[in-house]
Structure 1
Amino acid sequence: MTSSFTPPGAASEAPPAPLLVGDALASAPRRDWLRPALAMSGLAVVALVAGFGVEGPVASRAVLIGGACLVLWLTEVVPPFVPTLLLMGATPMLMEPLAADYRLSSVLTWGMDPVLVLFLGGFTLEVAAMRHGLDAAVARHVVRLSRGRPRLLLLLVMAGVAFLSMWMSNVAAAAMMLAALRPILQATPAGAALRPALLLGVALGANFGGMATPVGSGPNALAVSAASAYSRVTFAEWMALALPLTALMLVLGFGLVLLRFRLSGRLELPAEEPRPLTRDGRRVLGVSAACVVAWLSEPLHGMPAPVVALGATALLFGSGLLKREDLGRLDWSTLLLIAGGISLGRLMEHSGLVARALAGSDLGGWPVSVQLGVLVVVAAVLSAVMSNTGTAALLLPLAVQLHPAASTPILVALGCSFGIPFVISTPPNAMAAGEGLDSSELIRLGLPLMLAGCLLVSLTGTAVLRLFGLP
């Protein structure tokens, strides 16, 4: 899950990592001019296509608006909420004279989706956990449970950071785990296998954890919204597919790390006084646990997950566990980004751009399994070098038109989560590299994991979802 909030008390512990607010993609070491140059080139191409490559004023203006937003999202040259504001303003300005359907009141409703409320609840739980130290407590407990055994420590680190990333920002999850591991990392001799193994474990756990829940990442939110046109995807249904997938990818990652680094012996863990949760911390834990249970038991009680999220948000603020200033710490940037991605899909569908794009492609004649496999691989490859939410906003409208079913956007969103092999792919990767992990190690393990994940989702995803009533 994405966030722009730095945990209280973590500023001195967490490694400095330049973060791009909202989409949770770090500014990895790139030349300062590269992103603006790519953005300018992309905008020039969009202008040429809109001016000379598309027939009809509606289509050409839709290409201009949607293409400009996609370029800004994918290159991340501006904060990710800026393209959303551009889309909301430019669409009625340029297209309302052509059709009344594009007036401002109509455009604003495009992005109003219940999934935004679900994410708001998730962000509220995240801020509450950070304020009262629940995330740091989990990270410290993981280290204690290992009892000085390196392999068990690696496994618990991967599982712990993945668990945190299911409910909160993978950036914050990685930062908390790195802070808990820092005494061990600093005591590890130069060249020892333990340091790169643990850093890889943090990166892989944070990357794969976001797949497991609908609130785990921006692409998940866009997928839930796109799938709602065919079937309502409950919290439990998403996790029925994604949680076993996450567990399997963590096991594969753990095995590859052990093959690469032969961990053995015992560790001397730093002495640390137990820090029990405060009374308010226990209350936040109770609210969070009740919220998660309500989300998972939605098929039993029928209360939609967004309504539960609203109730949890009201309870946390109404009880005083969160203060007025905490409202500003919620990740409004990501909410705007998700709303923009949903609106972009509606613009592409409403203007007929999706139908035109598919009419000019040859994918329609391919077997469905091959079509889905191609989409999943393309999603992973683009997400490896660009914004994963921007990639989802680009591919989901095409995917659901190519194969209109609730399972299609879910599989594409999971594909976005496999774009992990490079330092620039995700913030946890950049943070691990900042701690000294060589980029070649990420590529060596990330590429086979990306390919294995894409293959697994392409071959089994549709069948598994059909078991739970999602065609």
Structure 2
Amino acid sequence: MATCWQGLWAYRFYLIVLCLPIFLLPLPIIVRTKEAYCAYSIILMALLWCTEALPLAVTAMFPIILFPLMGIMDASEVCIEYFKDTNILFVGGLMVAIAVEHWNLHKRIALRVLLIIGVRPALLLLGFMLVTAFLSMWISNTATTAMMLPIGHAVLEQLRGSQKDVEEGCENPAFELQETSSQKEVTKLEQRAQKTQERHRFSQGLSLCICYSASIGGIATLTGTTPNLVLQGQVNSIFPENGNVVNFASWFGFAFPTMIILLLLAWLWLQVLFLGFNFRKNFGFGQGEEEQKQAAFQVIKTQHKLLGPMSFAEKTVTVLFVVLVVLWFTREPGFFPGWGDTAFANENGQSMASDGTVAIFISLVMFVMPSDIPGLTQDPKKPGKLKAPPAILTWKTVNDKMPWNIVILLGGGFALAKGSERSGLSEWLGDKLTPLQHVPPAATVVILCLLVAIFTECTSNVATTTLFLPILASMAQAICLHPLYAMLPCTLAASLAFMLPVATPPNAIVFSFGGLKVTDMARAGFLLNIIGVLAITLSINSWSVPIFSLNTFPPWAHSNTSQCLLSPPTSTVPAP
């Protein structure tokens, strides 16, 4: 019997893939409508995403098969959704991030900032969190965590070694010969055990601060983490007349202050949880702390010296990266005419270039720029022949590090959103959610954020936003609420995956290093989830209101059956 259960467990993914479609078949057979067909597709994909019986990207390709066969959309229309402008932005932004990572520019930035901030316990936590969050704004959360964690553990090893030397130096053998009472030996053992426990807890706190700040930092920019791009793509797909309301500049104005608040609150919480309330000691003003500080500082300084002076490639990548950010901010900022609104505007005054256009342009420049000062050098493999230096980016480098599965996963989400709209499922869901108009919008948002934060602990944050955002858009249309008032906070909440190692790759990387239990991560992440929801609620009800005009129901959100058409747009969110 035990062998039978073991066999079933071994083949569980095959059984899930075979049985789920059959188990859900009564829905489209009994209710023979396009809404039911689309619901069948979405439920099937949601369960496969949650169980990960198939790779996420493979499940994301289901609409290409199901929607044409069910009469929801033509195959040509479905396939277009898999490579929209948002996917181009993702690819272009990631190519720039790959260049930064390939030439070790991110490591130089990290070590330089740590040298400036210092290595006292509380400041060391803050330093690692600031550096990790900043890097995570531009390169992937996983790559940032994988780079910062070894640096952090090298510093911790040096702290342990220096503290051991200090303790051994304080011992006086002559004094021990004179007084060898068992009481003093017990006291010494207790002190050593306490020191070991403190070092272990500090190691746990530093590890968690790295993975948490990687997730928090990603929310600050539109390209920082994939759910942000899912939101932009869904808004542009569901509301094509929105006028590019979600762009790099508007997102940064909304999310960057939220990230700063959440990061500081997370730092305070982790400091209290793992270092205690003795702030004088936390900031390194205790006995013997100076030796440890100098030793850890020397580790970082040595690592920084090993990088050597900045190469031509690093300087070039730095300049191109700064140009990219400036072009993103000034393309269509909203509060003053940008270069996209003036030089590259269409007949309606809207920018014909997008954030994806800028990202691809800078990426192409990196494929053209040489990685060394232009000149000819000897080819080491072929003596006597001259060779030009390689470009800053090569296709092999990009192909090895580009997560093409995420591109397909994004496209699958956009296809689901378009299928929900075409089949009428979005409209049906909106009608069923109209009773929510009697609930205060702020309370609705808090409940939705908590629901999304719980859901994202068990499944991919990309899959979470892909499933929830079309439903939230329909709900907002049904109750005459600004769609972004519901969609923005839930997108941020999808990044609040702090409780479980499987919730997000940064958590898994930190957990694999050892020294942490699931209970440690769950205890630290539970309150951090609550803090995150409160910070998001604060942002969506304050400075986000003027940025996105959340206090009115926008004309571009009207649907054909929206009851809001019967009356002029009214205030839905209290003004800040």
TM-score range, shorter chain: 0.7 to 0.9
Residue pair 1:84, 1:339 contacting (<8 A) in 2 also: yes
**Alpha carbons of 1:145 and 1:41: their partners in 2 closer, same or farther (altered >3 Å)?**
farther
* 1:467 aligned partner: 546
The secondary structure found in structure 2 opposite 1:424 is helix
Unaligned runs of 5+ in 1: 1-30
Q: Residues of 1 paired with 2:523 and 2:360: CA distance?
A: 43
1:425 equivalenced with 2:499 (yes/no): no
Matches within 5 A, 1:227-306: 227-228=235-236, 229=239, 230-232=242-244, 233-262=246-275, 263=282, 264=284, 265=289, 266-267=292-293, 268-269=295-296, 270=299, 271-272=302-303, 273-275=305-307, 276-298=309-331, 299=333, 300-302=338-340, 304-306=354-356
* Equivalent residue letter for 1:208: I
* 1:313 aligned partner: 363
* 1:399 aligned partner: 472
1:151 equivalenced with 2:222 (yes/no): no
Q: Residues of 2 paired with 1:468 and 1:216: CA distance?
A: 20
1:173 equivalenced with 2:223 (yes/no): no
Q: Residues of 1 paired with 2:154 and 2:497: CA distance?
A: 30
The secondary structure found in structure 2 opposite 1:384 is coil
1:162 equivalenced with 2:133 (yes/no): yes
Matches within 5 A, 1:18-417: 43=21, 46-52=24-30, 55-92=31-68, 94-96=69-71, 102-187=73-158, 189=160, 190-191=196-197, 192=199, 193-228=201-236, 229=239, 230-232=242-244, 233-262=246-275, 263=282, 264=284, 265=289, 266-267=292-293, 268-269=295-296, 270=299, 271-272=302-303, 273-275=305-307, 276-298=309-331, 299=333, 300-302=338-340, 304-319=354-369, 320-328=391-399, 329-361=401-433, 362-404=435-477, 405-417=483-495
Report how far residue 174 of structure 1 moved.
0.3
Residue pair 1:81, 1:334 contacting (<8 A) in 2 also: yes
Q: Residues of 1 paired with 2:40 and 2:396: CA distance?
A: 39
**Alpha carbons of 1:35 and 1:244: their partners in 2 closer, same or farther (altered >3 Å)?**
farther
Higher RCO, Cα 8 Å, sep 6+: 1
Residue pair 1:241, 1:465 contacting (<8 A) in 2 also: yes
Unaligned runs of 5+ in 2: 1-8, 161-195, 276-281, 341-352, 370-390, 478-482, 551-576
**Alpha carbons of 1:326 and 1:343: their partners in 2 closer, same or farther (altered >3 Å)?**
same
Q: Residues of 2 paired with 1:146 and 1:335: CA distance?
A: 37
Would you say how many aligned residue pairs link Structure 1 and Structure 2? 434
Report how far residue 219 of structure 1 moved.
1.3
Q: Residues of 1 paired with 2:497 and 2:428: CA distance?
A: 28
Residue pair 1:188, 1:195 contacting (<8 A) in 2 also: no
> Which piece of structure 1 moves more, 73-82 or 138-147?
138-147
Q: Residues of 1 paired with 2:10 and 2:214: CA distance?
A: 27
Residue pair 2:63, 2:412 contacting (<8 A) in 1 also: yes
Residue pair 1:368, 1:403 contacting (<8 A) in 2 also: no
1:444 equivalenced with 2:494 (yes/no): no
**Alpha carbons of 1:81 and 1:173: their partners in 2 closer, same or farther (altered >3 Å)?**
same
Residue pair 1:373, 1:458 contacting (<8 A) in 2 also: yes
* Equivalent residue letter for 2:253: A
Q: Residues of 2 paired with 1:366 and 1:45: CA distance?
A: 36
Report the RMSD for the aligned CA atoms in angstroms: 2.4
TM-score (norm 1): 0.85
The secondary structure found in structure 2 opposite 1:78 is coil
Q: Residues of 2 paired with 1:441 and 1:366: CA distance?
A: 36
Q: Residues of 2 paired with 1:248 and 1:403: CA distance?
A: 27
The secondary structure found in structure 2 opposite 1:180 is helix
Q: State the structure with more CA Rg.
A: 2
Residue pair 1:39, 1:72 contacting (<8 A) in 2 also: yes
Q: Residues of 2 paired with 1:326 and 1:290: CA distance?
A: 22
Residue pair 1:143, 1:180 contacting (<8 A) in 2 also: no
Report how far residue 160 of structure 1 moved.
0.7
Identity %: 24
**Alpha carbons of 1:414 and 1:37: their partners in 2 closer, same or farther (altered >3 Å)?**
farther
TM-score (norm 2): 0.71
The secondary structure found in structure 2 opposite 1:145 is helix
Q: Residues of 2 paired with 1:34 and 1:186: CA distance?
A: 42
The secondary structure found in structure 1 opposite 2:455 is helix
> Which piece of structure 1 moves more, 372-381 or 454-463?
454-463
Report how far residue 369 of structure 1 moved.
2.4
Q: Residues of 2 paired with 1:455 and 1:171: CA distance?
A: 26
